[in-house]
Structure 1
Amino acid sequence: MRAVQITRFGGPDVMDIVDLPDPVPGDGQQLYEVSAAGVNFADTHHHLSSN
């Protein structure tokens, strides 16, 4: 699956698109396919204040 990954501090330019293994749901969990997701301006800066 494709994902956005943040591995270092910085601005929106540190968000990398990477390929990861498909997730496997655990007991009592459901896996949903998402074809599109939005990211707003505040989301691009959230990683700076979460550490």
Structure 2
Amino acid sequence: MAAVPLGQAAWEDGKKRLKPLTDDTKAKVLAALPAKALAKSKKPRRI
């Protein structure tokens, strides 16, 4: 584990978790985004 930086290991793990995004899921996310964008947050949030 020491050979791989912790951040890289977490990134690889995250990529594995994010991979199975179906078109249905993408549609749900895109449908939800405009509603969230209308609500103004106090500070800009980075995703």
**What TM-score range do you get, normalising by the shorter chain?**
under 0.3
Determine which structure has greater relative contact order: mean sequence separation of CA pairs < 8 Å that are 6+ residues apart, divided by chain length: 1
> Higher helix share goes to which structure?
2
**TM-score, structure 1 as length reference:** 0.26
**TM-score, structure 2 as length reference:** 0.27
> Which structure's CA Rg is the greater one?
2
